[in-house]
Amino acid sequence: MLEQLKNSKKSVGLKQSLKAIQADKVKVCIIAKDAEERITRRVKELCEKKSIEIIYIDEMKKLGKACGIDVGASVVCILK
């Protein structure tokens, strides 16, 4: 899954991901396990409500790197 992120249409980060989920543009949501629960809680709730698949990745750093950015990412959504 991580290999596909660089070439996929995606939203990176909490605010962009929340907007994409609310607009029904998300196919899959990827959440870093080491992200703070208070940050990811709303994303998880929306994904469950809209029946969007959630995939968990060990570290924010790995998720950010897979997206081609130099910082960690708590949430990334692959768009439809």
| pLDDT digits 0-9 by tens, 23-69 | 999 999 999 999 999 999 999 999 999 999 999 999 999 999 999 99
- Tell me the two tokens of residue 61: 């750093």
Domains contained in the chain, number: 1
CATH code at position 74: 3.30.1330.30
The rounded distance, in Å, linking the Cα atoms of 34 and 56 is 10
Res 72 pLDDT > 90:
yes
As beta bridge partners, residue 31 has 56, 75
Chain mean position to CA 53: 11
Locate the DSSP E strands across 1-80.
Answer: 10-12, 26-32, 53-57, 75-79
- Which pLDDT score, from 0 to 100, does residue 47 have? 98
Range of the domain at 6: 1-79
With cut-offs at 50, 70 and 90, classify the pLDDT of residue 5. confident
